[in-house]
Amino acid sequence: MRVSLFHPKYLGLSALGILCALCALVALVLRNRLDTTIARHRTVQGQVAALERLQEAVGDLEEWMQTRRQGADPLFDQLAHRSRKSIESSLLALRAHAGPRSLAALARMEPTLHLLLSSTASKGLGVGTPEALGPASIHELEGEFRTSLKEKSGELDGLSAALTTLASQAALAVEATLILGASFILGGIWLLTDLHRRYRLAEEEHKAWHRSYFEAANVGILHGEPFNLRLLEVNDAFCAMVGYSREELLSMTVLELDHPEERETDLRWLQAMQAPGGLPFRREKQYRRKDGSAFWAEVSVSPIRDPDGILKMQTAMVLDITERRAAQEAIAEHRALLQHVLDGSDQGYWDLHFPSGAVTTSPRCKELLGIPPEVPLPNLDSWTALIHPEDQPARQVAMEAHIAGASPSFACEARILHGLTGAWKWMLCRGRIYERDASGRPLRMAGTLMDLSERKALELDLARETERYLALFKSLPIPAWMVDRDRKCFVACNEMVESAFGWSEAEFLAFQLTDLIPPELRIASEEALETDRFRVGASGPWPIKCKDGQLRTGMVLSHDLELQGRRGRISVFHDFTDLFTVDQERERHLSEARDFRYALEQGAMITITDADGDITYCNESFARASGYSLEELLGQNHRLLKSGHHPPEFFTDLWDTIKAGQVWKGEVCNRAKDGHLYWVQMSIVPFLNPFGVPHHFLAVRFDISDRKRAEAELLRTLRELEGLLEAVSVGRLVPFRSDADQGTLILGEAALAVLGVDPTQYQKPGDLDVLLDLEGRTRLKNALALVAPGSPATFQARMEGPEGTTLWTRWTILQEGGELRGVIQDVTEQQELEARFRQAQKLDSLGTLASGIAHDFNNLLATILGTTEILGEDPALTQAQRRRIQLAHRAADRGRQLVSKLSTFGRKSTQDWALSDLNHVVHEVATMAGHALPDSIRLLTDLREDLPLTYLDPGQVHQALLNLILNARDALGVEGRITVRTGRERLVSPERLGNRPGGDFIFIEVADDGPGMSAEVQSRIFEPFFTTKATGKGTGLGLAVVHGVVQRHHGILELDTEPGRGACFRIFLPFLPTLAAMEEDAPPAAPRPLGVLMPEGPDREALIELVHRLGREVRPLDPLRSLEGIHELGSVFIHADLAPSILREYQSLHGSESALSWVALGEDPTRGILSASDLRPVAVLPLRPSLRQMLRVIAIL
Amino acid sequence: MAHVLLVEDDPDTSETVRDMLEFLGHQVTQAANGLEALAEASHLRPDVVLTDLLMPEMDGIEVMVEFGERFQGVPILAMSAQHEAPYLPTAHLLGARAVLAKPFGLEALRSAITTALHSNP
């Protein structure tokens, strides 16, 4: 409650008080003046009285003196004496009251008075003295007295009047003072009452607040006794907090509620507070609830003291901070964690204060920047200065974007100057503004700094590791695969999977895990998968299904790993199939031993040996062949039969094989007891124990001595033929023997089979008619006659091969002792190759010849043709003469065509590319084909007039077109119509274009109204050697050639057909900017130098000369340093072969929008242009352009 | 009707072509090689020059170059029995109004002469 003196109520009261005080002051002043006046009045009264007495005394004295003069009278003397005395006392009194003026008057009167006095004092008075005191002096004195008296009386009157006035005034003032004072006192009393009332109200309010605060607050509040610490009052919130009821709490002390660990501390704090002058305190402590659990609370304890400073009670507010504390702990933990992360990640931490630009950095940050810890922290500017100039713009952009709020955080990779090494290091700086001012300006930003060079190196390492690991995986020599454990599928496998199981990678990866396990094992395998038995480490053996239906059995070794965030597993497969097969074989052997033994023992020699080769069992056959008895053999080592024929390595290999658990098969020479050698074919099967180690070996032998003998003989024969065999490397060899005397051949059945001779036809040896024709027989006879030891005879003969084919054979016969031996070699293929080669050579030489003589022939023909033509025009000729001359003319014309055709053999195909009129080609072909078509088939042409010239190889297009027409003819059969059409079309659809660029195309179409084609035929139509024509009629190459030609021209070949609706082939050729197009809109020429970018050589010289002659400056450019030149000149001739690479480079340097005019030059310029960049040439020219072509091109450069 | 200077070394061919030209109604002066042709041309002032390309002494290419320098404006036609590069293309390059591949017929000759006479270079 505040009381203001300026409240109107108090203002009035105050004014009253002030007035009252003023009145009292006035009254006081008046009283003072009254007192002064009264005192003065008294003085003046005294003076007046003294003066009157003095006057009276003087009068007495005068009377005395008069008397004295009249005689002395003692009585009078006495009287005089009294008067004198009276004067003296009056004077004294006068002096005492006299003012200055009165004193001055007295002083004036004094001599007279003294004189008077002294005269009266002398007893002898009257004698002499009274003269001095003349009556004048006394009168004068009297006058003086009167005057003074008069004055004093006046003054006295004035004073009396003033006194009266003052007294009335003072009375008035006192009265006013009294009235005002009374009012003031009354006002004061009212005021006090008012204050009291207000205080009461405020107190009520305060109490209500306090109550509600106390009861309703969510903080616990408790009041306690200061010394015994007993609780006086608690609120409900606290009750709820600690779980006690209010009644229970009021019988407890504060300390009882404390957590045992807290009591001592709490007591210390309380005592400190309770001490005189002790202050309130606040601390966090643990309370114990009724149920014994503890909670954290923030408690504020205040002492309540009375005005004398005596502690009355203490009050505490308790706030449950369990959650806050948990949050704080979490934050602390989080912060510590963050610090760990930052430390662990090798990142530096920084904090930027924007307004000041101050940067706080962690030690690691400084370390990254290469700044020693003792160097002061850099501010933002000095830090920014460390960033590489080239990276500054990116940093600024990123920072501004983040400041503007466009990006959630700031991140920039930049090169930062390392303070110690002075080198640029790639770092990643990331940050985020975490505090902004009210207007959104950034205040603080925190972030990290990371050394990217290390991360990059790490990434590189990781990539390299992964690569190495994958390479290892791929190159494992055994099947290996990777599995996604969550999806239970394969994700990768190596190449060995295909070679081991036959499944291609795609097939294998499509399997579920258990798909490859045979059905009967699938459940087991699934269980194994579930129970991890299939998982890590080795498991198995598992049989895996192969593509060919077989099973491969092996152990699966697995290792779990993380594969791109997925749970993966890498497994390798150790194939033990062979081992298990052997194992199974052993089992089978044991179980079926009896059955087999009987069967085997009939023909086979069987032994069983232990691991060292000691015979533990052998059968009769074996004993019989070896010549030993059974008793002799048992217990003996197998070496007993060693013949010495085989080198030691032979047995090493045998033992290695069988000891590894594998079956060994081979042919072995054994020595019998009597010393003779015999050959056996032997299989040794090891019996394996469960660990795969052989414990016994079963050897099964068959006698092959006879065969061996025959083979030995054959081998000898063959060795004799070795020299011969070396000479012949192609074809099939058929050995034969010949009886020289009879001139016949002895051919085995194998030989006959090779030669394709039916053995039933070859009844008796020497029946050569079946084998050889007459010519062959003659040659054979000659050869047999010629052959001599050391000098073999050979000849070639044509024979009839299987199914009526012709078989070319080379016969070689040699004499050895009295015997004739030989081989027949199938040289059909060789013969055919040679024939074809000879044919090609023939054509080639013909072409060379033709082009050599073409000039002369053309000259001759010129004469004949010219002359006959003119002759034919002679009107004087008879009909018969004209016909004969026309015959001659026609013959000469055929000669001309022949020369022309022959010349093409001598031509190289690349020279044939030319800027050509497609219509012209079509016209030529149509004319030519017209002759090849029967009259019943009509050939129509529909050629578009304004077809632009294009680059093509006329010979090839000729060929392709002809093939299409001839195909159409064959499809039509007897009669029909073939239409050849040319035109122009713009192709944009990717379905038709494939991967070629779209644009303008010209096309040739060959359509027939024949039977059309089925879808099946259509799909195979362009395959080489596919033909629907009768055998011998079609090569199956026609359309393949067409296809090839179209491809060489970067064109498109389309076929539109349906059964019964004819067929239509369409060849699209790319349309390029040509002279025809350039003629239409040639811009005015700008005389600037033209660049020439061509390999050095005659072509370049010719071009330079040509351009020069046309009046333009030429600058040859160095292909290696051409880019500047091209850009500078802007117009350049480029060889088509150089164009793609140069232009790509140019484009990457200057962009595709740059204004470059270039002209492609080349034999097949389309090749270069199509693969070049977006920069299309303004023109395309042949390597040796004509003057006219050049003129037109130069006009636009 | 034009005056044609025919340059051809082979006498038979020369005769034949002369026949053909005359048949087409032109006046012909023959020259056996380039030197002769130049000598003739200097006083004859032909309307057209028809030259073979492969000739002894001075061949057709040289003839064309010389004529190009000395008698500017006289159209030149080239002919050759050698169809391979570089003869005919070179002639074309050097400004021949048309090239004739021997053997050629009357029609081809007629259109070549017409081209030479009526087209401006």
Measured distance CA(A534)–CA(A555) in Å, rounded: 10
Q: Which is more confidently placed, A933 or A1170? A: A933
Domain presence at residue A866: yes
Residue-level pLDDT at A134: 55
A235, A256, A258, A320 from A282: Cα distances, Å? 19, 19, 15, 13
Residue-level pLDDT at B27: 94
Measured distance CA(B82)–CA(B53) in Å, rounded: 9
Domain that holds residue A238: 218-326
CB atoms within 10 A of CB A538: 11
Q: Which is more confidently placed, A419 or A2? A: A419
Residue-level pLDDT at A1026: 58
Looking at the fold, whether A151 and A20 belong to one and the same domain comes out as yes
Query: Nearest Cβ partner of A869 from B89, B94, B105?
Result: B105
Residue whose entry in the numeric block shows the structure tokens 């009287």? A79
Cβ-Cβ contacts under 8 Å, B16 against chain A: 862-863, 866-867
Residue-level pLDDT at A914: 60
Q: What is the CATH number of the domain that holds B9?
A: 3.40.50.2300
**pLDDT at residue A1193 greater than cutoff 80:** no
Q: Using pLDDT thresholds of 50, 70 and 90, give the confidence band for residue A524.
A: low
Determine, for residues B106 and A1185 on separate chains, whether the beta-carbon distance falls below 8 Å. no
Looking at the fold, whether A937 and A1054 belong to one and the same domain comes out as yes
Nearest Cα residue in chain A from B94: A1187
Measured distance CA(A74)–CA(A67) in Å, rounded: 11
Per-residue pLDDT, averaged over A793-797, amounts to 82
**Lowest mean per-residue pLDDT among A105-109, A614-618, A638-642, A1025-1029:** A1025-1029
pLDDT tens digits, one per residue of A32-60: 888 888 888 888 787 777 777 777 777 77
Q: Sort A1171 into a burial class: Cβ within 10 Å, 0-12 / 13-18 / 19+.
A: middle
Determine, for residues B82 and A854 on separate chains, whether the beta-carbon distance falls below 8 Å. yes
Residue-level pLDDT at A1075: 36
pLDDT tens digits, one per residue of A161-209: 888 888 888 888 888 888 888 888 888 888 888 888 888 888 887 777 7
Per-residue pLDDT, averaged over A1136-1161, amounts to 75
Q: What is the domain count for chain A? A: 9
Residue whose entry in the numeric block shows the structure tokens 């030429």? A1114
Cβ-Cβ contacts under 8 Å, A892 against chain B: 103
Looking at the fold, whether A349 and A428 belong to one and the same domain comes out as yes
Looking at the fold, whether A166 and A18 belong to one and the same domain comes out as yes
Q: b/e for A351-380, b at 16 or more Cβ within 10 A?
A: bbbbeeeebebbebbbbbbbbeeeeeebeb
The SS3 call for residue B80 is strand
- To the nearest whole Å, the CA of A1000 is away from the closest chain B CA by 29
The one-letter amino acid code at A397 reads: V
Q: What is the CATH number of the domain that holds A610?
A: 3.30.450.20
Count, residues in chain A: 1197
Looking at the fold, whether A14 and A148 belong to one and the same domain comes out as yes
Test mutation, A849, A855, A903, chain B, max B CBs within 10 A:
A855
Residue-level pLDDT at B20: 92
Domain presence at residue A331: no
Q: B80: which 2 tokens?
A: 């050759």
Q: What is the domain count for chain B? A: 1
Measured distance CA(A134)–CA(A120) in Å, rounded: 14
Q: Which is more confidently placed, A462 or A273? A: A273
Residue-level pLDDT at A127: 43
Measured distance CA(A1037)–CA(A967) in Å, rounded: 11
Per-residue pLDDT, averaged over A897-913, amounts to 56
CB atoms within 10 A of CB A714: 11
Cβ-Cβ contacts under 8 Å, A851 against chain B: 84
Looking at the fold, whether A812 and A869 belong to one and the same domain comes out as no
Measured distance CA(A103)–CA(A105) in Å, rounded: 5
Measured distance CA(A780)–CA(A812) in Å, rounded: 10
Helices (H), ranges, A773-877 = 774-786, 828-873
Question: What are the residues of chain A with a beta carbon less than 8 Å away from any beta carbon of chain B?
Answer: 851, 854-859, 861-867, 869-870, 873, 892, 896, 900, 903, 907, 911, 1106, 1184-1188, 1190
Residues 6+ apart with CB under 8 A from A761: A770
Measured distance CA(A349)–CA(A364) in Å, rounded: 7
ipTM: 0.80
Domain that holds residue B87: 3-118
A30, A338, A798, A1055, A1063 from A1018: Cα distances, Å? 149, 71, 40, 8, 10
Residue-level pLDDT at B87: 63
Residue-level pLDDT at A980: 93
Residues 6+ apart with CB under 8 A from A1086: A1197
**pLDDT at residue A702 greater than cutoff 70:** yes
Among candidate residues A186, A206, A239, the one where a domain is terminated = A186
Determine, for residues A856 and B86 on separate chains, whether the beta-carbon distance falls below 8 Å. no
Q: Which of A673, A683, A664, A685 shows the shortest CA–CA distance to A625?
A: A673
Per-residue pLDDT, averaged over A351-357, amounts to 83
Cis amide bond preceding A541, omega within 30: yes
Determine, for residues B84 and A903 on separate chains, whether the beta-carbon distance falls below 8 Å. yes
Return the C-alpha torsion angle B87, B91, B93, B95, nearest 10: 180
Test mutation, A859, A1108, A1161, chain B, max B CBs within 10 A:
A859
Residues 6+ apart with CB under 8 A from B112: B50, B77, B97, B98, B100
Return the bridge partners of A281, or none.
A301
Looking at the fold, whether A421 and A491 belong to one and the same domain comes out as no
Compute CA A956 distance to the chain's CA centroid, rounded to the nearest angstrom.
52
Residue-level pLDDT at A237: 80
Q: Are strands A694-703 and A677-688 parallel, antiparallel or unpaired?
A: antiparallel
Measured distance CA(B54)–CA(B39) in Å, rounded: 19
Domain presence at residue A206: no
Domain presence at residue A333: no
Looking at the fold, whether A968 and A1114 belong to one and the same domain comes out as no
A194, A722, A752, A776, A813 from A725: Cα distances, Å? 148, 5, 20, 22, 12
Average pLDDT of every residue of chain A: 74
Residue-level pLDDT at A1008: 92
Q: A321: which 2 tokens?
A: 């901070």
Domain presence at residue A428: yes
Most confident segment among A61-70, A547-556, A593-602, A1185-1194: A547-556
| pTM for this entry | 0.28
pLDDT tens digits, one per residue of A800-852: 766 677 777 777 777 766 666 666 777 777 777 676 666 656 655 665 666 66
Cβ-Cβ contacts under 8 Å, B89 against chain A: 1184, 1186
Handedness of CA A860, A864, A865, A870 (dihedral sign): positive
Nearest Cα residue in chain A from B8: A859
Domain presence at residue A468: no
Determine, for residues A854 and B83 on separate chains, whether the beta-carbon distance falls below 8 Å. yes
The answer to whether the CB of A20 falls within 8 A of the CB of A78 is no
Domain presence at residue A208: no
Looking at the fold, whether A968 and A1091 belong to one and the same domain comes out as no
Q: What is the CATH number of the domain that holds A140?
A: 1.20.120.1730
Q: A200: which 2 tokens?
A: 């009461």
Looking at the fold, whether A945 and A841 belong to one and the same domain comes out as no
Measured distance CA(A943)–CA(A804) in Å, rounded: 49
Q: What is the CATH number of the domain that holds A1023?
A: 3.30.565.10
pLDDT tens digits, one per residue of A225-282: 877 778 888 888 888 888 888 888 888 888 888 888 888 888 888 888 888 777 888 8
Among candidate residues A864, A893, A922, the one where a domain is terminated = A893
The answer to whether the CB of B46 falls within 8 A of the CB of B117 is no
**pLDDT at residue A438 greater than cutoff 90:** no
Looking at the fold, whether A923 and A1013 belong to one and the same domain comes out as yes
Q: Which is more confidently placed, B121 or A420? A: A420
Return the bridge partners of A449, or none.
A348, A429
Residue-level pLDDT at A587: 54
Nearest Cα residue in chain B from A1103: B93
Domain presence at residue A714: no
Measured distance CA(A69)–CA(A50) in Å, rounded: 28
